[in-house]
Amino acid sequence: MPPAKKRTRSYDSAKTRAAVLAQIRNVREAVAGLTPQQLDGPTRLGEWTVRELVAHLTMAVGSLARKLGEPEPAKQNLVLLDWPFVTATQAATIDEDTRAIDTGDLPGLYARTAALYEERVAGASDDRLVPTRFGAMTLADFLVTRTVELIVHTDDLNAATGLDIPYDRQALAACTRLLADALAVKAPGGAVEVRVPPFAVVQCVEGPRHTRGTPPNVVETDPLTWVRLATGRVDWAEALEAAQVSASGERADLSGLLPVLG
């Protein structure tokens, strides 16, 4: 795991809380209209069908609500910028837990998940420690990770079904920023400026630090393309070929640093 730097970016917790709820509602509305045939269709996530994908989306939010019902851990041992690099360590367990979800009543499952989230998150303090698969995090930090889960898997669901489920702007912003900051942790430095307007700008990669004028090494893309690159949904060369990302300068090749999400 790359060493986490001190957290420098702040997130508006009230907006993040609302964004998580808004995005699960966006998905809930779309899932209600899926046919059995669509639910049994394939996804880009290995052996997962659409049914398993939509079940996992409830787990991403429901786990937070359920964890708030457990005793608070004695101490924090995971910070926000650690999270992107440890997610892969529990992939097998996450897959097993997802497959164990009862999907016989998906509308009911989504309704219960949203209701439990609203009930338990509303009155909880940002500093409240939450036990997760990877360690104890503050609620404020864990909420930001939920935006990544929701945006990434909403995009997976859109790709699998041809739906056009909207992305809550605040959820997309938080997701984009965390993944951009994770890149800066993975490749610290100031030689390359990565721009993901309108949400994030970070500097990364060892080399001469730029201070004035136009940076000599610049990468720029849109938020969804960045999310796909950072999570391995889109290949760097493929994105360049499709003009979904621009890269100028001899150091502006991020292919060896992607994906950043474990």
**CATH number, domain containing residue 240:** 3.30.1050.40
Owning domain of residue 182: 173-257
Helix (H), strand (E) at residue 71: none
- Give me the number of domains the chain comprises: 2
Q: How far is CA 242 from CA 148, 201, 234, 239, 257, in A?
A: 24, 22, 11, 5, 20
Q: What residues of the chain score a pLDDT lower than 70? A: 1-8, 209-213
Angle formed by the axes of helices 13-31 and 50-67, to 10°?
150
Residues 33 and 161 in one domain: yes
Q: pTM for the full model?
A: 0.94
Given a contact cutoff of 8 angstroms between Cβ atoms, the answer to whether 196 and 176 are in contact is yes
Write the CATH number for 93: 1.20.120.450
User: How much of the chain is in helix, strand and coil states, percent to nearest 5?
Assistant: 50, 10, 40
Helix (H, G, I), strand (E, B) or coil at 188: coil
Residue 3's pLDDT is 45
Is residue 215 helix, strand or coil? Answer: coil
Same domain, 192 and 224: yes
Describe the crossing of helices 223-230 and 139-161 by its angle, rounded to 10 degrees.
100
End-to-end CA distance of the chain: 9
Instruction: State whether 35 and 163 are in the same domain.
Output: yes
**Which pLDDT score is estimated for 93?**
93
In a domain, 135, yes or no: yes
Instruction: Give residue 8's pLDDT.
Output: 66
Q: Which of 125, 146, 167 is the last residue of a domain?
A: 167
The pLDDT assigned to 216 comes to 86
CA distances to 117, 144, 174, 179 from 80, rounded to whole Å, are 20, 8, 12, 11
Same domain, 154 and 249: no
Residues 122 and 185 in one domain: no
Residue 241: per-residue pLDDT = 96
